[in-house]
Structure 1
Amino acid sequence: MSETLLDVKGLSCPLPVLKANKAMRGLAPGAKLTVLATDPASVADFRAFCRETGHALVAFSEDQGLFRFVLKKREEPAA
Structure 2
Amino acid sequence: MDAVLYDLRGLKCPLPVIKTRKKLTAMPSGAMILVDTSDPLAVIDIPHFCNEDGHELVSTEKTERGHRFLIRKG
Q: TM-score, normalising length from structure 1?
A: 0.88
CA–CA separation in structure 1 for the residues paired with 2:8 and 2:65: 13
Q: 2 CA distance for matches of 1:64 and 1:73?
A: 26
Higher Cα Rg: structure 1 or 2?
A: 1
Unaligned runs of 5+ in 2: none
One-letter amino acid matched to 1:5: L
The number of residue pairs the alignment matches comes to 74
Pairing of 1:57-76 with structure 2 (within 5 A): 57-74=57-74
SS in 2 for 1:39: coil
**C-alpha displacement at 1:65, in angstroms?**
3.3
Q: Write the letter of the residue equivalent to 2:70.
A: V
Does residue 3 of structure 1 match 2:3?
A: yes
* Moved segments of 4+, more than 6 Å: none
Q: How far apart are residue 3 of structure 1 and its match?
A: 1.8
RMSD over equivalenced CA pairs, Å: 1.0
Return the TM-score normalized by structure 2.
0.94
- Matched residue type, 2:16: P
Unaligned runs of 5+ in 1: 75-79
